[in-house]
Amino acid sequence: MNYTNPVYPHSAPDPFALQHHGEYWCYFTGLQPDGRAFGILHSPDLIHWRYAGSALDRLPPGVIPYPDTCYWAPEVTVLDGRFYLYYSVGNEENMQIRVAVAEQPGGPFVDSGHRLTQETFAIDAHVFRDDDGSAYLFYATDYFDHPRVGTGTAFDRLLDLFTLAGRPRPVTRARFDWQIYDPQRASKGNVCWHTLEGPFVLKRQGLYYQMFSGGNWQNASYGLGYGVTDSLEREGEWDQPCDGVNQMPVLRSRPELGVIGPGHNSVVRSPDGQSWVCVYHRWQPETHERVLAIDLLDWEEDRLVVYGPTNTASSLASRPLVSSESG
């Protein structure tokens, strides 16, 4: 199947793609024209998308102790035929992760009444289930006591779909210059602020790969890196191969191709089930929107790679098939 990016040339920031019964649903950041939260797209093949409405009513006044002006980064997981939408809500300075529930992938979703995180700032929820059935919530939060101050990723075990164990641990925090959000961020006291956000986890041949977006989502610094570990119980943070010098981010701006700011991804299987596909957003300068793009993802030995960003006609079958050992 051939495609040309962007596959949906309209606003669809922070896209999360869900494959369900042979079709695809994509949920994205923001309040919608009807006043509700989170847009929904639907596709039979990852290439042709239509807008399918909104997901969630805004929270009633008083549910959270600050204005609900920001609804960010929805992700949907499925268990026993029900759909659980994890999302970030708040006023940008104060953000919490909550979960809503629906009986159908197109909603309507209803907030469950559960706040999962306790940090002042917590965004970009991602649920990962390991081979033994245990579940974990990966998310982004702020680290002020780290040598490179800024947002990084953490994870905590899910006791159930509404409850965290309350023992979060860092996964990936800033290490490299390509992860600088703003060298003098006024809203954070003029410090050199770094950002790692948008975690998404894959497991392959005994290794865990947590993809993340680094840099500033508003400009060409934004790109995709990853952390890797052989155990969720390891002490310390995960390794980060993409240092921006010896190994570049797996997706990065290519101004010569007209691609700026690719990032905040999710990953699904291709319609034939043979390949991984990275679903992400990128800037469309003409409209100042983050639009939907897709490209193949695979591994070269133990190195995660995305064959993009592409800006010309490409094929979801143009690369070797993913190893049958990939989970």
Task: Give me the domains of the chain, ranges plus CATH numbers.
Answer: 2-315 (2.115.10.20)
Q: pLDDT tens digit string along 231-255?
A: 999 999 999 999 999 999 999 999 9
Q: How far apart are CA 263 and CA 247, in angstroms?
A: 17
Q: What region does 90 belong to: left with phi over 0, alpha with psi -120 to 50, or beta? A: left
Instruction: Name the pTM for this structure.
Output: 0.96
Residue 318, pLDDT > 70, answer no
- CA angle at residue 290 from 16 to 262, to 5 degrees? 75
> Which of 78, 77, 18, 75 lies closest to 42, judged by CA?
18
Rounded to the nearest angstrom, the gap between the alpha carbon of residue 113 and the centroid of all alpha carbons in its chain is 23
pLDDT digits (tens, 9 = 90+) for 60-119: 999 999 999 999 999 999 999 999 999 999 999 999 999 999 999 999 999 999 999 999
- The rounded distance, in Å, linking the Cα atoms of 115 and 69 is 17
Q: Which residue has the tokens 């191709």?
A: 257
Lowest mean pLDDT among 202-216, 279-293, 313-327: 313-327
